């Protein structure tokens, strides 16, 4: 039996709308960019996403059915748990973005008067925005449960790893030992684990 709880599914949509809106508005309040890393990893990530959506759009329907397999059953429990996880992920991203303030950038950049932020969620992980985004995606996957959502999470994660490596290089270049010390004592994405 398939459960439909529109209010909880709307929570997922609302979380993503809040996330996107907050990111668009706050992008106007950042410091001037001093150095921008190459477009390579970001370009790779964008190409992979475009290919993913083209494959879904152009794939013959008998193969497309494989991506529509439900991995997580659609139950009241999965809807509640997925919604809670998505809201939690949204809270992490907003907390991290607010803490980062005008140092934030969507691309791998170094800002004028850039600060090394190690407070707030950055005390627990070096890339809490990525942690929050992955948490939101996992929550969304639990609610919808389709194989293509899991595939999107894997593609997104690979793109994040590439971007994360570029950010780390840039931070080490500009902050040197200070960033290396921070890196040695603080995990990248999951406190105490990864």
CB 182 within 8 A of CB 126: yes
Secondary structure class of 113 (helix, strand, coil): coil
Q: What is the pTM of this model?
A: 0.80
For the chain, which domains are there? 6-185 (1.20.120.1630)
Burial of 29 (0-12, 13-18, 19+ CB in 10 A): exposed
How do the pLDDT tens digits run along the chain, 194 residues long?
A: 445 555 656 888 889 889 888 888 887 877 676 666 666 666 766 676 676 666 655 555 666 677 677 888 888 899 899 999 999 999 999 999 999 887 777 666 666 777 888 999 999 999 999 999 999 999 988 988 888 778 878 877 887 888 888 888 888 988 899 989 999 999 988 888 87
Vertex 156 angle, CA 66 and 64, to 5°: 15
């Amino acid at each position: 039996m398939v459960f439909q709880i529109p209010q909880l599914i709307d929570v997922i949509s609302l979380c993503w709308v809040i996330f996107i809106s907050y990111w668009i508005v706050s992008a106007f309040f950042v410091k001037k960019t001093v150095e921008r890393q190459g477009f390579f990893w970001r370009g790779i990530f964008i190409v992979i996403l475009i290919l993913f959506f083209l494959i879904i759009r152009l794939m013959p329907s008998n193969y497309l059915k494989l991506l529509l397999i439900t991995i997580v059953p659609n139950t009241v429990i999965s809807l509640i748990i997925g919604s809670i996880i998505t809201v939690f992920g949204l809270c992490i991203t907003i907390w991290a973005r607010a803490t980062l303030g005008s140092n934030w950038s969507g691309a791998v950049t170094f800002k004028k008067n850039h600060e090394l932020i190690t407070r707030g969620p950055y005390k627990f992980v070096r890339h809490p925005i990525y942690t929050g985004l992955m948490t939101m995606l996992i929550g969304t996957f639990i609610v919808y449960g389709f194989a293509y959502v899991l595939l999107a999470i894997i593609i997104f994660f690979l793109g994040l790893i590439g971007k994360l490596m570029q950010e780390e290089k840039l931070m080490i270049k500009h902050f040197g030992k200070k960033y290396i010390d921070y890196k040695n004592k603080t995990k990248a994405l999951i406190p105490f684990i990864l």
